[in-house]
Amino acid sequence: MTDQSPPRRDHIRSFVLRQGRVSAAQSRHHDEGMPKWGVPYSAAPLDLAGVFGRAAPRILEIGCGMGETTATIAAAHPENDYLGIEVHTPGVGSLLKEIATRGLTNLRVVQHDAVEVVRDMIAPDTLAGIHVFFPDPWPKKRHHKRRLLQPPVVSLLASRLAPGGYLHCATDWEEYARQMLEVLSGEPLLANTAADFAPRPDYRPQTKFEARGLRLGHGVWDVVFRRRPEKSPAGG
Ligand SMILES: C[S@@+](CC[C@H](N)C(=O)[O-])C[C@H]1O[C@@H](n2cnc3c(N)ncnc32)[C@H](O)[C@@H]1O
């Protein structure tokens, strides 16, 4: 397959691309920021050291939304490099605005389906961490098949972590939280860092939306697993 071929798709997508409104500011930041901090999808392993211009721990964030959390974490941890993945143009525009206004040098963006990005662009056994914060819960039973965190994708994510690297998922949807715990517990390459749900690690900032939910008595669940020391089958 050449870089120009359409990506192979053998999975159900976890998102539906809607023609959402893109504000003038998001559009401008998208146009100006993509050439500087956007990484185009390509069906070939990405040279992360080349992208960031240094060797540092690399952390992937899947589904950055409007990017506030992603940018806050990157700003607080200049020692790490962050690759954010998001499909929606308004969110990518917002994230690029955050990079520009905060002057971040350790954050890049890929606008593409994260499953294909991880499968095609990330080499096995390389990442220090993967964040999946508040993935779409797809609450209706007939839509559960669209949930991102199912066994094949969790196996793929685990294979891309370096031994000792972590997979951190968070959700405010209790039933999805239980699914996350079950699916991650069933992945042989991963071990839970807690007895079941984990306390929120300090690096994950609490959003306004989350704080409001907690005040109203709604829960938020963090699930943090670590890659076991053995090499992944995908890594050979
Ligand atoms: C509910 S939002 C959460 C956003 C953000 N993480 C937060 O905590 O506010 C989920 C986001 O994941 C994105 N998304 C879902 N599936 C994706 C995929 N396969 N690849 C990239 N982005 C995806 C959606 O576009 C959406 O912006």
191 CA → ligand 1 middle, Å: 25
Report the Cα 179 to chain-centroid distance in Å: 18
Q: Is 19 part of a structural domain of the chain?
A: no
Cβ partners under 8 Å of residue 209, min gap 6: none
CA atoms within 13 Å, Cβ hemisphere of 189:
26
For ligand 1, the distance from its centroid to the CA atom of residue 91, given in whole angstroms, is: 9
Residue 37 inside a domain? The answer is: no
- Residue whose CB lies within 8 A of the most ligand 1 atoms, among 17, 59, 87, for a mutation test: 87
Average pLDDT value for residue range 110-132: 98
Q: What residues are annotated to the active site?
A: 136
Instruction: State how far the alpha carbon of 6 is from the alpha carbons of 48, 112, 197, in Å.
Output: 22, 12, 39
Domain-located, residue 17: no
From the CA of 91, give the closest atom in ligand 1.
27
- pLDDT for 6 equals 74
61 is in an annotated binding site: yes
Q: Is 187 flagged in the annotation as binding?
A: no
The per-residue pLDDT for 233 is 65
What's the alpha-carbon Rg for the chain, to the nearest Å?
A: 17
Residue 111 included in any domain: yes
Residue whose CA lies nearest to ligand 1 atom number 1: 136
Residues in contact with 121: Cβ distance below 8 Å, sequence separation at least 6, in sequence order = 41, 42, 43, 44, 45, 46, 110
What's the 190 CA to ligand 1 centre distance in angstroms?
A: 23
Residue 224 has pLDDT above 80, yes or no: yes
Tens-digit pLDDT profile for residues 25-68? 999 999 999 999 999 999 999 999 999 999 999 999 999 999 99
The predicted pLDDT at position 181 comes to 98
What atom in ligand 1 is closest to the CA of residue 209?
Answer: 9
Ligand 1 surroundings by CB, under 6 angstroms: 14-15, 62-65, 69, 85-88, 91, 113-115, 133-136, 148
Average pLDDT, the chain: 94
181: closest CA among 189, 142, 191?
191
Is 209 annotated as a binding-site member?
A: yes
More confident residue, 230 or 169: 169
Would 33 be classed as within a structural domain?
no
Residue that wins the pLDDT comparison between 51 and 213: 51
Residue 161 tokens, joined = 């972590």
**Per-residue pLDDT tens for 131-169?**
999 999 999 999 999 999 999 999 999 999 999 999 999
Residue 68 marked as a ligand binder: no
Question: What b/e readout covers 139-161, taking b as 16+ CB neighbours within 10 angstroms?
Answer: eeeeeeebbbbbeebbbbbbbbb
CATH number of the domain enclosing 65? 3.40.50.150
Query: Which residues does residue 166 pair with via DSSP β-bridges, in sequence order?
Result: 129, 226
pLDDT digits (tens, 9 = 90+) for 73-104: 999 999 999 999 999 999 999 999 999 999 99
The pLDDT score that the predictor gives to residue 27 is 95
Terminal CA-CA length for the chain: 21
- pTM assigned to the model: 0.95
102 occurs within a structural domain: yes
* Helical spans, DSSP H, in the chain: 24-37, 48-52, 68-76, 89-102, 114-121, 151-160, 174-185, 208-215
pLDDT at 236: 46
Q: Is the pLDDT of residue 1 over 50?
A: no
Centre of ligand 1 to C-alpha 236, Å, is 31
Residue ranges making up the domain that contains 138: 46-235
Is residue 76 in some structural domain? Answer: yes
Number of structural domains in the chain: 1
Residue whose token pair is 């790490």: 80
pLDDT of residue 176: 97
